[in-house]
Structure 1
């Protein structure tokens, strides 16, 4: 958990940070899924984003210059899932490394015979337990396609809260662990079976890789294409709604509007 001094320092730094309404609006215009958040919650998300940046160290890799807009975009996306959980959920690490597009991670894997295989894995992001989050950055508006690298990797960080990356984050006492397990296991089995049959799936098939990836992919869909997720796997949507304490599908049909200039 955050120490009292660490909380004080991040709040003090956020208090001193000045971002114009125009800059917030420019960044948020590239993240259209933020419109699924009730308007009155936007100032709170912005404030949490500033505290998040006060607590984390963000570095560019391979020559990428991390601009203020990149920082704000990452922070808004990272804080959206924990808006009602609390920023303390990200307490046990500080580093974020941002790459200009896809990047390569060297892998060493031992097979069942004990033979070690080494290879380069091209990825969009990666979260290390107790360590940094690695992200690829693409300088373009985020389409509402259910694919969101930032939310995906930060969902993995939440998954790690119970000590194991298995698709089962630490749930609040008000939630039923058995209901979560039943909803996700049934959906994961169905999703994998449909994939194996060659069905044209509407959700990201990367979710078939592992229950942990399924949770991260469903979290992406929850925030980006909530109506689709609710239609495909309503029980999963319900569990994520309880966990994240948000209901984005209820606002997905809201007509597009000009972003409000929040303070």
Structure 2
């Protein structure tokens, strides 16, 4: 009740200037392909996102309204039909100027051996913390080239609604987990097989990291190059269409 009242007050008192909104839509083809009605709803969702999430600048990042708006608009694309409550489990977005280093990260390989090293990242979604982004990578996102670090990291947050990210977010009524798993497992295994054979796959090889990354990379493709993605992965496209309740192709 209070949340609805607060959001109504935000919409009554604030707005996104037309010039700023047009600049974002023009810069991001994934947004420009939306209908007028969809863009109007995305604009409303983006405004609420900007007021409900806290943006933090890291490592000397010069973070202004235009940059926050661009991030927020792309972050809201996956939840256009799901609603802002889908992002209820986090409050902050941290923005670095460039790729950032995460030190002393441990991981276990297929043989059960634990390795420790540094990672250079363009984005990261913490299970019980913020979404972290590199602005240099945000600028390259959503251009119709199959890359969108914002969509990628925020889709991880949707995945985490069910706990640890595993590539299976909580599905809507009418969707069946076995169908989702069948589509994604087949695509994931085929990608891994291609890489083992030394082939150069169409999908970003990073998607073979684990099922959670495969889901996030597929979501990038779904929104950024939807027609090609539908042709390459029709079963996964169908599952994502039902999950996001959007059909960008």
Q: Distance in 1 between matches of 2:237 and 2:201?
A: 17
Q: What is the Cα deviation at residue 9 of structure 1?
A: 2.5
Structure 1 segments (4+ residues) deviating >6 Å:
112-116
Q: Does 1:246 align with 2:246?
A: yes
Report the counterpart of residue 204 of structure 1 in structure 2: 204
- TM norm structure 1: 0.88
Q: Give the 5 Å matches for 1:86-125.
A: 86-109=83-106, 117-125=115-123
Deviation at residue 238 of structure 1 after TM alignment: 0.3
Q: Is the 8 A contact 1:146 1:224 kept in 2?
A: yes
| Contact kept? 1:31, 1:141, Cα under 8 Å | no
Match of 1:19 in 2: 16
**Who is 2:128 aligned against?**
130
Corresponding position of 2:78: 81
The equivalent of 2:61 in structure 1 is: 64
Count of residues in correspondence between the two structures: 246
Answer with 132-141 or 234-243: which moved more. Answer: 132-141
Q: For the structure 1 residues 45 and 164, does the alpha-carbon distance in structure 2 shift closer, same or farther, using more than 3 Å as the test? A: same
Q: Aligned to 1:248, what secondary structure does the other structure show?
A: coil
Counterpart-to-counterpart distance in 2, 1:14 and 1:70: 21
| Residues 209 and 172 (structure 1), Cα distance of their counterparts in 2 relative to 1, 3 Å cut | same
In the alignment, the residues of structure 2 paired with residue 233 and residue 114 of structure 1 have an alpha-carbon distance, to the nearest angstrom, of 31
**Residues 140, 147 of structure 2: 8 Å contact kept:** no
Q: Which runs of 5+ in 2 are unaligned?
A: none
CA distance in 1, matches of 2:207, 2:133: 18
Return the alpha-carbon distance in structure 1 between the equivalents of residues 140 and 18 of structure 2. Answer: 19
Summarize the Cα distance change of 1:107–1:15 in structure 2 as closer, same or farther, 3 Å threshold: farther
CA contact (8 A) 1:57 1:94 kept: yes
TM-score of the pair, normalised by structure 2 = 0.93
CA distance in 2, matches of 1:243, 1:133: 21
C-alpha separation in 2, matches of 1:62 and 1:244: 34
Displacement of 1:120: 1.8
Q: Indicate the larger mover: 85-94 or 234-243.
A: 85-94
Higher relative contact order (CA 8 A, sep 6+): 1
Instruction: Tell whether the 8 Å contact from 1:147 to 1:204 is kept in structure 2 after alignment.
Output: no
1:50 to 44, 47, 52: 47
Question: Counterpart of 1:98 in 2: which secondary structure?
Answer: strand
Aligned Cα root-mean-square deviation (Å): 1.9
Query: How far did 1:147 drift?
Result: 0.9
Deviation at 1:66, TM superposition (A): 1.2
- 1:104 aligned counterpart, secondary structure: strand
State the Cα deviation string for residues 166-205 of structure 1 (Å, max 9, x = none).
Answer: 0000001121111111100111111111122122222211
Q: Who is 1:258 aligned against?
A: none
Partner residue in 1 for 2:223: 223
Q: Does 1:157 align with 2:157?
A: yes
Q: Find the aligned partners of 1:173 and 1:153 in 2 and give their Cα distance.
A: 24
Q: Is the CA contact 2:100–2:134 (under 8 Å) kept in the aligned structure 1?
A: yes
